Structure 1
C-alpha cells in the first residue's frame, strides 16, 4: 500500500502514533535522523493516563512489569527526613493504574520498536526531512538517507522534538523562554539512605536541591539538580565535580556515574498545532519543565488524539473536519500545562531567601498535612495522572451530563475499560439500554455495552441509564440522559461517524 502519512521523529510520541495507525491499518512511513533509539534514560515517568492508553493496546501489564512502581516520596532538609508521602495507591478507585511508574525512555523506545516490528513496521533511521510543501491534495517532501528522494503524502505528523524541522519549515512561532538556571542530570550506582526501597527522594540544603529516584530495576538512580553557584562559571562542568558536590552536600554515596549531562530547560508552546495537512505533536509542539513528569506523557496523548482521527478520515469513517479538533483539544491543555508546571518549577528552583524558607519550613509539613485527606490525595492524583484532561469545549463534544460531561475521560469503574481495547467508537449505558437504542445501533454496527448499575458508578459521576458515546481514545463524545436516539443520530450524522471495521 502507498504510504499516506509521514511521521517525522521516532521518539515515544512518533512511535505511539505509528502503533495506533498500524492498528487501524493505515499505511505510513516513520523516519528519524538519528542512527537508532536513544541511549540515555531522559524522560522516566509513565503516568496512569498513558498506562490506560497502553491497556487499550493490550500491553500495559508488560510495561508495568518492566518498570518500577513509585511507592513513596521522602522530603529531606539537610539530610533529615521532614516528610514522607505514600504514593502506592494514590488514585485508588480512579484508574486501573493508581500509581506512577518509572520506565527509562531508552528502554521505553526499544519496547515500542519491538511492538511495531511485531506488526511488520520498521523505523527508517538516518533519514532526514529536507523540505516539505503542500501540493494539491497532499504534501511534497524531499527526504535524504543515502541519497535524496521526493515523496508524496496526504498528511505529515511532526514528532521531531524541540528543534523540529517540521515546525521550522512551517514557520510556526514557538513562544516561550529559557529558564536561567543551568541543570545537571546523571544516572548513578550508589547506596545510602536516599537510594534504597524504590523511593523518590527530594532533598533541600540551603539554596540547593536534589531529586533522586530509581530508573532501572538493575539499581541505577537518576539525580537531577541545579549546578551549584561555585561551579556555575566553569566553561565545562564535569561529572566528577557534581559527584563530589552531591556526596558532600546530600550524603549520597555514589559508586559510579553511568551517564551525565548538563542542560537548560525551556517552556514554550507552538502558536498552532496544525497548518493544512501538517500537524505538530509532542516536544515539537510544546516543551516545559520536568515538574510532575508530564512532558513525554503529553506527547503520547497528542499522538493518541491525532492518530485515530487521521485513521477515521483516511478510511472515510468521519468527516475531515474532525481533524480541526486536534488543535482545539490539545493546544489549550499544553498552554495550561506549561503555565502550571512553570509556576511550580520556579518555586522549586528559585534561590532567593523566601523560596528557600518555603522549601525547608513550609513545603514538608504542608505536604504531609494535605496527604492525610483522601479527597485531596485524589485531587493531586487527577492532576498528576492526566486523567483530568477534558475536551468539553471541543466540537466533538455534545450533550449534557450532570457531574460527568461530554469531552471528559470516561470514568473508571470495575470492568468498564476492557471494551476500550477495540480502539473503536462504542455506546455505554450504566443501567438498562432501550430496545430502540440497541436495534438502531446494530444497524450502524455500533457496539452497545450495558453495565449493571451499582453505587460505585454514581460515586464517579455516571448517571443511571444514561447514553454515553465513547470515542476510540476513551473520551465521551455525546451524552443523552433520556437515551434520545434521534439526537444520537444527529451527532453521528454531523461528524459523519462510522465505526472502524473490526480488523485490528
Structure 2
C-alpha cells in the first residue's frame, strides 16, 4: 500500500480533468486515472456556456479552448415550411468576458485540459481502472488495476468523475434515483450530398417524432447528426454511452421524416445512446466525492452535461486542494475542514436539482412522443414561426435565457462559506453571489475585473479608502487588489470559483481572518508555486 497522493481523481472526461487541474493549482498532489486506454472517443457534448469559460479562465485554458471553438455560431430552425435564421448577435451580457455560446467538441475540451495537466507534470493514467474502494475514516483505500498489475493506494480524498455507472458512487453506497427516458438519442458522423446544402451553420428540425440537429462539427465526417426517437430499450447499452451502430437506411429515414431533401453519401460512424435522468442522494460521503455524470445525469436539452460537470469540478477542486494541499493546516481544526468539504454538497446539489427540472421540461418539449409535445412541434410551432425572429431580436430576453441556462444566475447565499461582516457592504454582490465582470481601476489604465483575477487562489478586493491588510493576515494562495474607482472602506473576498465568500463595509481583520481560516487560505509557511 502506498500513500503518495492527496486526491485521486477517477475518470478523465472534462469533469475529471478540470477537477484534477483545479485541485493541483490549489496545492494538492493529484493523480488521475482513466479506464479507457485511448484518449479519443466520439464527442457527445458540443457546447460551452459563458459561465463555464469564466470558471476555467483562472486555470489558463480559455484561449486554447476558444481556438477550437466557433464563438459566432449560426443556425437555421426548420418549423414546418418555415425557416428561421439565427446568427451571431451582440448579446446583452455586459458582465461577462464571454457573451456568447461556444460550439466546441468535447474531445477538443479534453485535449486542452489534458495538455494543461501535462504541462504541470500530471499525466492521465489511461488503461487504469478503479476496481475497489473503501472509506477508511481518515483516508480512502483504492484498488487500481492496469496492464502492469494491481496496486492499492491510500489517499485523503477520492473524487468520482467516472460517469453514470460510477464505481466511486457504488463504493460510497450512495443512492442513485431517477428513471430512463422513453426516448433515445441517435448520433452519427455523415457526409451529405445535397446540391446547395452549403450553409455552414447548424440545422435544426422540429417535427412530430422529435428533434433532429445537424452540426458542422463531425469528427470523422463533416456533419454530426443528433436526433431523438422513441426507444425500444432492446439493445442493452449503458445509459449515456454510445451503443450499437444505426443502419444507414434508418438515418436516411430520420432525415426524410424531418423534411430534409438530403442524401447520406457516407456514414463514418453512428450509435444509439439510451438516455436517463438521475440524481445521487448526496454528493459526498466521508472521503468520497461525486462530480459530473457520477452525481447527476440529464437529457441533452440545453447542453448541460459537460458544463455542469466542469462547474462541479471547479467548485470541488479548490476545496480539496485547500483541505489536503500545502495550506491544509489552515482550516479551523477538524470542524473547519468538515464545513469546507460539506459545502460542496450543500452548494452544488441544489443547483443540480434545479437543472434537472429545467432539462426535463425542455426535453419533454423537444423530444417527447406524447400527444401534446408532438402537437406543439408539428402544429403550434410552425404557426408561431413568424414570431420567432421578433423574439430573437429582444436582446435582453435572449440574454436572460442564456443567463439561466449557463448558470450565470447561480448563487450560494445559504452556504456556510458565505459570510457577511459588519457593517453590510452596500452596492456590491452579496456573499455567495457570482462576482460580475466590470471595468475597474487598480491604479493605471482601467481594466476588466475578471482579467485581473484570472489566476488561481482567493482574491481580496479592497475599496479605495480601506486600511491596508497586514501581510500576516493572508496566506500564499491569497492576492490583494485595491479598486481605486470604488470609494469606501470595505472589502470583499472572492473565492477561486468566482463567487463572493466574504464581504464587509468596514475593516474587520478578525472576521476576514476567520473566513480565510475556514476555507484553508489563512497564512501558512507554504510557498505558492
State the TM-score, normalized to the length of structure 2: 0.85
1:5-404 → structure 2 map (5 Å cutoff): 5-78=7-80, 80-81=82-83, 83-146=84-147, 147-190=149-192, 196-215=198-217, 220-227=222-229, 238-249=246-257, 250-314=260-324, 315-316=327-328, 317-318=330-331, 319-320=336-337, 321-360=339-378, 361-362=380-381, 364-365=385-386, 367-399=388-420, 404=429
Closer/same/farther in 2, CA of residues 365 and 485 from structure 1, 3 Å limit: farther
**3-state SS in 2 of match to 1:422:** coil
Worse-matched range after superposition: 43-52 or 399-408 = 399-408
Closer/same/farther in 2, CA of residues 151 and 427 from structure 1, 3 Å limit: same
CA shift at 1:486, angstroms?
4.8
**3-state SS in 2 of match to 1:36:** coil
Closer/same/farther in 2, CA of residues 218 and 165 from structure 1, 3 Å limit: closer
Q: What do you get for the CA RMSD once the two structures are aligned?
A: 2.9
CA shift at 1:246, angstroms?
3.6
CA distance in 2, matches of 1:234, 1:272: 30
CA shift at 1:419, angstroms?
2.8
1:458 corresponding residue in structure 2? none
Question: Which one of the candidate residues 470, 482, 493 is aligned to 1:450?
Answer: 482
CA distance in 2, matches of 1:129, 1:194: 51
Closer/same/farther in 2, CA of residues 356 and 26 from structure 1, 3 Å limit: same
Closer/same/farther in 2, CA of residues 178 and 136 from structure 1, 3 Å limit: closer
CA shift at 1:421, angstroms?
2.5
CA distance in 2, matches of 1:294, 1:442: 42
Closer/same/farther in 2, CA of residues 357 and 113 from structure 1, 3 Å limit: same
Deviations 1:70-129 (A, max 9, x none): 433322123530x33334433541311111112212232222222222222112222111
**3-state SS in 2 of match to 1:243:** helix
1:410 corresponding residue in structure 2? 435
The answer for unaligned runs of 5 or more in structure 1 is 455-462
CA shift at 1:328, angstroms?
0.6
CA distance in 2, matches of 1:496, 1:480: 19
Closer/same/farther in 2, CA of residues 253 and 284 from structure 1, 3 Å limit: same
2:500 corresponding residue in structure 1? 476
Deviations 1:343-365 (A, max 9, x none): 11111112344323322434645
**3-state SS in 1 of match to 2:206:** strand
**3-state SS in 1 of match to 2:307:** helix
Worse-matched range after superposition: 480-489 or 243-252 = 480-489
CA shift at 1:371, angstroms?
2.6
CA shift at 1:182, angstroms?
2.6
| Contact in 2 for aligned 1:38/1:109 (Cα 8 Å) | no
CA distance in 2, matches of 1:256, 1:440: 67
For these two proteins, the number of residue pairs brought into alignment is 491
Worse-matched range after superposition: 95-104 or 483-492 = 483-492
CA distance in 1, matches of 2:38, 2:358: 34
Closer/same/farther in 2, CA of residues 291 and 90 from structure 1, 3 Å limit: farther
